[in-house]
Amino acid sequence: MVVSMDFLRPASLAEALELKAANPDAVPIAGGTDVMVELNFDKRRPAALLDLGRVPELATWRAENGRVRLGATVPYTRIVDELGDVLPGLAMAARTVGSPQIRNRAGVGGNLGSASPAGDAHPPLLATGADVEVASTRGTRTVPIGEFFLGPKRSALAADELVTAVLVPVAAGPQQFAKVGTRNAMVIAVCSFGLALDTTRRTVGTGIGSAGPVPLRAAAAEDFAAEVLPWDEPAANTLTDDTAKEFGELVAAAARPIDDVRGSAAYRRHALAVLARRTLRWAWQDVSGR
Amino acid sequence: MRVTIEVNGERRTADDVWPGESLLYVLRERLGLPGAKNACEQGECGSCTVYLDDTPVCACLVAAGQAEGRSVRTVEGLAGGDGLDPVQEAFVATGAVQCGFCTPGLIVAAHELVHRDPGATDAEIREALAGNLCRCTGYEKILDAVRLAAAKKAGERA
Ligand SMILES: Cc1cc2nc3c(=O)[nH]c(=O)nc-3n(C[C@H](O)[C@H](O)[C@H](O)COP(=O)(O)OP(=O)(O)OC[C@H]3O[C@@H](n4cnc5c(N)ncnc54)[C@H](O)[C@@H]3O)c2cc1C
Ligand code: FES
Ligand code: FES
């Protein structure tokens, strides 16, 4: 049976929003690295595809008011090449996504659209306190990243809305990202962790991936580290083993992992404690090296 | 729907394309270009790698309509009138081809690397080819091929 499908090709953001409002069932397609897998395997037969690949407003980034406004379709390859200095955590995460071919096409808008708990962009966005900018013909609103994910593959996006950008604060200190998987390339994270230190405000941000129904922050770990890190004496040896260990345990305690084919809940908790401890050490070394 | 793409320098048109169809399907089944291979259809193996506007992509993950009006270069478009591309020659010379199924995708990925960075280190070569799987060679001869092609390219530029 041949099912008909429309292919909608807006040339501007205004046109894209109008088409989305008129066709709320249309599935946006950016890099296609999630959407095409579903189509190729007959898992999805949408009434229409809405190609975002020709919407220039979504394909650029710029710095504004201490933040980077990163368009939804800027591919990971450009994030790695162009934003390593200002958004180091997100650039590190982008470098671990899939393969060069995947990074050449896929971007943050699609990662958010899929809203997988394993999406690699999510931990650094949580750790930096980013906002998601979404738009429809009704207007534009920003959703704090912590309120964007509602459940596995469910987000705060309404049927007529598109993600237009993420607004990510420019780094004010060292950032790290680490991910556990079976090989270096092409792995969905068993679990992942993003860390952002703000040495001016003396705060610590965290993001946990693949260890809960949604990407999570570890608020207790953030408060603990902000409190006990020896901000006045930033030398590598001023971060004690006890502090690093306690931080790791608080991160693990914030996770809500499940057993699945990629790993058990217990393993995920253990691995997260290790990742959190290590990334805190690396980041603190960077503070002292500055 | 009708899709018009510049393929290997020529304007090509395919009719009756289903809007959910991949660029890979259009190239192979509608335009008679079986070079890019179909193995996994989920971006994992890289055997369908082609250039889309000078960027290597998995053709199985590009909707045909997204390629409308853009330029695509497949392995068929690499060899010139006077014979194989140097990257292809290097694969032959080093014995980097066994069953050959992965070869077209690897050639395109290697071609892009050799042109972008002929001085690539082994680690950079591995990274550039991380999206291409080969079940036969164990990769060592493929690395030899890329090193050979890169050295030749670097020599040309020097
Ligand atoms: C081989 C392979 C390896 C992968 N490895 C990783 C990995 O290591 N880490 C990782 O995180 N992901 C990985 N992925 C998943 C995928 O690449 C990412 O989720 C990517 O960020 C999706 O981006 P895209 O532009 O390709 O999205 P698309 O496939 O185009 O879209 C994804 C979803 O988001 C929606 N969408 C897209 N753009 C918007 C928008 N602007 N507004 C609203 N909705 C939108 C789409 O409708 C769809 O539901 C991998 C995928 C493959 C095939
Ligand atoms: S067929 Fe496209 S990556 Fe395997
Ligand atoms: S030569 Fe057979 S898969 Fe590579």
Residues A64, A151, single domain; the answer is yes
Partner-chain contact B130 A100, CB within 8 Å: yes
Report the alpha-carbon distance of residue A262 to residue A268 in Å, rounded. 10
Tell me the pLDDT tens digit for each residue of B45-79. 999 999 999 999 999 999 999 999 999 999 999 99
Which residue on chain A is closest to B128 by alpha carbon? A100
Residue B100 C-alpha to ligand 3 middle, in angstroms? 5
- Chunk chain B into consecutive blocks of 10 residues (it has 158) and report each block's average pLDDT, rounded to whole numbers: 97 96 98 97 97 98 98 95 92 97 98 97 96 96 97 88
Residues A62 and A154 both lie in one domain: yes
Residue A188, by phi and psi: left (phi above 0), alpha (psi -120 to 50) or beta?
Answer: beta
The reply to whether A143 falls in a domain is yes
Neighbours of A188 (CB within 10 A): 16
Tell me how far CA of residue B81 lies from CA of A132, B104, B117, in angstroms: 51, 18, 25
Answer whether CATH 3.40.190.10 is correct for domain B3-77. Answer: no
The residues, any chain, with a CB within 8 Å of residue A70's CB and separated by 6 or more, are A61, A79, A83, A87, A90, A108, A165, A166, A167, A168
Same domain flag for A80 and A124: yes
Minimal C-alpha gap between A283 and chain B (Å): 25
Atom 28 (ligand 1) nearest CA: A32
Q: How far apart are CA B95 and CA B107, in angstroms?
A: 13
Most confident of A182-191, A228-237, B29-38: B29-38
How far apart are the C-alpha atoms of A92 and A203, rounded to whole Å? 20
Report whether pLDDT(A224) > 60.
yes
Distance from CA of A184 to the nearest CA of B (A): 9
Tokens of A96: 């671990």
List b or e across B91-127, with b for residues whose CB sees 16 or more CB atoms inside 10 angstroms: beebebbeeebbbbbbbbbbbbbbeeebebeeeebeb
Instruction: Note the pLDDT of residue A184.
Output: 74
> For residue A1, is pLDDT > 60?
no
Digit-coded pLDDT (tens) for A97-139? 999 999 999 999 999 999 999 999 999 999 999 999 999 999 9
One domain, residues A41 and A144: no
Residues B63, A51: C-beta atoms closer than 8 Å: yes
How many H helices and E strands in chain A?
11, 13
User: What are the chain B neighbours of A37 within 8 Å (beta carbons)?
Assistant: 41-43, 61
Least confident segment among A49-63, A183-197, A205-219:
A183-197
A244 within a domain of the structure (yes/no):
yes
In this structure, is residue A115 part of a structural domain?
A: yes
Q: Is residue A1 part of a domain?
A: no
Domain boundaries, chain B: 3-77, 86-157
DSSP B41-80: SSSSS-TTEEEETTEEEEGGGSBGGGGTTSEEE-GGGTSB
Alpha helices in B1-158 (DSSP H): 23-25, 86-94, 103-116, 122-128, 140-157
Out of B38, B49, B107, B134, give the residue to mutate to test ligand 3, the one with the largest number of ligand atoms within 8 Å of its CB. B134
Q: How confident is the model at residue A167 (pLDDT cuts 50, 70, 90)?
A: very high
How large is the average pLDDT for residues A62-89? 98
Contact A101 B57 (CB under 8 A): yes
**Alpha-carbon dihedral sign for residues B38, A113, A279, A256:** negative
What's the pLDDT score for residue A187? 78
Q: How far apart are CA B32 and CA B28, in angstroms?
A: 5
Taking an 8 Å cut-off on Cβ atoms, the answer to whether A36 and B128 are in contact is: no
CATH numeric code, B86-157: 1.10.150.120
Structural domain span for residue A231: 175-289
Residues A184 and A112 in one domain: no
Specify the residue for token string 């790695």. A80
Structure tokens at B42: 């989920």
For residue A275, give the CATH number of its domain: 3.30.390.50
pLDDT per residue as tens digits for the range A194-223: 999 999 999 999 999 999 999 999 999 999
pLDDT tens-digit readout, A31-47: 999 999 999 999 999 99
Which tokens in the block code for residue B28?
A: 């192979």
Mean pLDDT of chain A, nearest integer: 95
How does A243-266 read in b/e, with b if 16+ C-beta sit within 10 Å?
Answer: bbebbbbbbbebbebeeeebbeee
Task: Say what the pLDDT of residue A132 is.
Answer: 98
Q: Give the residue from chain B lying closest to A38, CA to CA.
A: B42
Cα(A59)–Cα(A121) distance, rounded to whole angstroms?
17
8 Å CB contact between A170 and A63:
yes
Are A20 and A109 found together in one domain?
no
Model pLDDT, residue A152: 92
Cα–Cα nearest to A186, from A284, A89, A101, A62: A101
Q: What is the pLDDT of residue A182?
A: 81
A133 and A164 share a domain?
yes
Q: State the complex-level ipTM.
A: 0.97
How many domains does the structure of chain A reveal? 3
pLDDT value, residue A2:
54
pLDDT classification of A237: cutoffs 50, 70, 90: confident
A39 ligand 1 Cβ < 6 A: no
Task: Show which of A115, A138, A169 is a domain's final residue.
Answer: A169
Q: Measured between beta carbons, which residues in chain B are less than 8 angstroms from residue A19? A: none
Please state, in angstroms and rounded to a whole number, the distance separating the CA atoms of residues A192 and B121: 28
**Backbone phi, psi, residue A256, to 5°:** -130, 60
In percent, the amount of chain A with pLDDT more than 70 equals: 99
Task: Please say if the pLDDT value at position A94 is more than 80.
Answer: yes
Tens of pLDDT, residue by residue over A238-281, are 899 999 999 999 999 999 998 888 889 999 999 999 999 999 99
Regarding whether A45 and A66 lie in a shared domain, the answer is no
Does residue A126 form part of some domain? yes
Query: pTM of the full predicted structure?
Result: 0.97
- Among the atoms of ligand 1, which is closest to the Cα of residue B42? 53
Q: What confidence category does residue A290 fall into, taking pLDDT thresholds of 50, 70 and 90?
A: low
Same domain, A159 and A67: yes
Is residue A158 in a domain? yes
Identify the pLDDT of residue A3.
61
Q: Please count the other Cβ atoms lying within 10 Å of the Cβ belonging to residue A183.
A: 7
Residues A227 and A261 in one domain: yes
Chain B CB contacts of A7 under 8 Å are 1, 19, 63, 65
